[in-house]
Structure 1
Amino acid sequence: MPIRYWALIIGLGAVWGGSFLFNAILIREIGPLWVSAGRVTIGAAICWVYFFATKRSLPRDRSLYPQLVVLGILNYAIPFALFPFAEQHLASGIVGVINGLTPMTTVIISQLWRGGEKATWNKVAGVLIGFAGALLLASPSLGDAGASGQILAYLAALGATCCYALTLNYARRFKGLDSATIASSSLTAAALIMVPLALLFEGIPVITKIETWGALFGIGVFSTSFSFLLVYWLLPKVGATNLSLNTFITPISAILLGVLILHERFELVHVLGMIVIFVGLVFIDGRFVRWLRPAAA
């Protein structure tokens, strides 16, 4: 694979890791629902600019549009609100690491999904190892009676990964549909749902800081529209397996940005939890396991 594609995969993981930094800045002034609403609205607008600039056309099959609404809810609206909600109680780097559990939740849901990919022994091992790491991350809060908000935050972030896992299985029905159409339509559906919900439950947002506007622009343009358009462009060129390697980059990016910019600190148990989750990802990816087998033989 050309080196430029590897660079794009690494860059994609780094940009997605940056979304957790943006969330941490945004929730200082606006609520999680407005973070999601702002992100999908800006993301949809940029995707439509690309859509019309490349002279694409919408599908004529009207039955696709309710399905794209479901995709917008699962892939954008819900997780984009759950992650900033979690960051009200947890460091952005920790939430970024929990996002790294997406391959684990995907293995579980794919087992239950009709026609889903069945798990191999190394994937099952990866799931068990990954969730052991998640328990390590949450362990400082488990014995603290006053940390119920943190436990709820862990569950919210884990719920977001379940949304992504559902999406990966649900999105198979759009095979053959233009990727820009999928991104533009589903992001628009998410915006049409999240803006009224944000107004209803959080009122009109008041943004007074320039860094909040910058974070909103960054998460909408780079972490949403740019990222998803890049994913759809890269996927046929590098394949799903190679593209999935950004899963290893995103948590590292989230941790580094949290430490360097937000000055977040981590306990030793958090570091151990991150290492264990990373080992689980290695098992699920399978390449290292396949490399060891011939070496052992």
Structure 2
Amino acid sequence: MRMTVVDWGLLGFLSILWAGTFFFTSIAVGELPPLTVVFLRVSIAALALLIYLGIRGITLPKNRQVWKAFLTMGILNNVIPFSLFFWAQTTIPGGLASIANAATPVFSIAVAHYMLADEKFTANKFFGVVLALIGVGFLFGEEVSSGASVAIS
């Protein structure tokens, strides 16, 4: 399937929203404790999703196993990463945090190779991971060498 102009526009809009969160997080963690900001972010997102489901007429599942999976995914994909990134942004700039975050999908591909039977490395995936790590390393090196300081308090 080929991406249309609308698809590219939506991807660009999503990229701006995603990157903008690091800027706003830097401001928020300057005023509030990191875990409070995480709680607010996750709660607002959950409320938005509940409203969306209500508008679409979709009901929440009642199966306990499904909720256990939701809880596990929420902790692993939202609470832990956001807590770590927001805590880190109390000592590093948002730009540096966003560059570090860029490595997340790269490491996900590597972890999936070992954790999931249907996500094995292919030559294309390997080349993509290497290229992405080089790109992130280049950006990380540029951010650090441009004078970004890391203060440990």
Q: 2:101 matched to which residue of 1? A: 99
Cα deviation code 1:108-134 (max 9, x no counterpart): 101111324111234334434516854
Instruction: Name the SS for the 1:28 alignment partner.
Output: helix
| Alpha carbons 1:17, 1:96 under 8 Å: kept | yes
Give the distance between the partners of 2:19 and 2:60, measured in 1 at CA: 31
Q: 2:151 matched to which residue of 1? A: none
TM score, norm. by length of structure 2: 0.81
Match of 2:84 among 72, 82, 85: 82
Unaligned runs of 5+ in 1: 141-264, 271-297
Amino acid paired to 1:58? L
Match of 2:117 among 115, 118, 122: 115
Q: 1:137 matched to which residue of 2? A: 140
* Pairing 1:41–2:43 present: yes
Give the distance between the partners of 1:31 and 1:107, measured in 2 at CA: 32
| Alpha carbons 2:34, 2:83 under 8 Å: kept | yes
RMSD over aligned Cα, in angstroms? 2.7
Amino acid paired to 1:267? S
Instruction: Name the SS for the 2:91 alignment partner.
Output: coil
Match of 1:24 among 7, 26, 29: 26
Instruction: Name the SS for the 2:31 alignment partner.
Output: coil
* Pairing 1:267–2:123 present: no
Give the distance between the partners of 2:124 and 2:100, measured in 1 at CA: 20
Answer 1 or 2: higher relative contact order, Cα 8 Å, separation at least 6.
Answer: 1
| Alpha carbons 1:87, 1:95 under 8 Å: kept | yes
Aligned pair count reads 145
TM score, norm. by length of structure 1: 0.44
- The 1:88–1:61 alpha-carbon spacing in structure 2 relative to 1, beyond 3 Å, is same
Instruction: Name the SS for the 2:64 alignment partner.
Output: coil
Q: 1:66 matched to which residue of 2? A: 68
Identity of aligned residues (%): 30
Match of 2:57 among 42, 55, 59: 55
Give the distance between the partners of 2:146 and 2:42, measured in 1 at CA: 36
Unaligned runs of 5+ in 2: 149-153
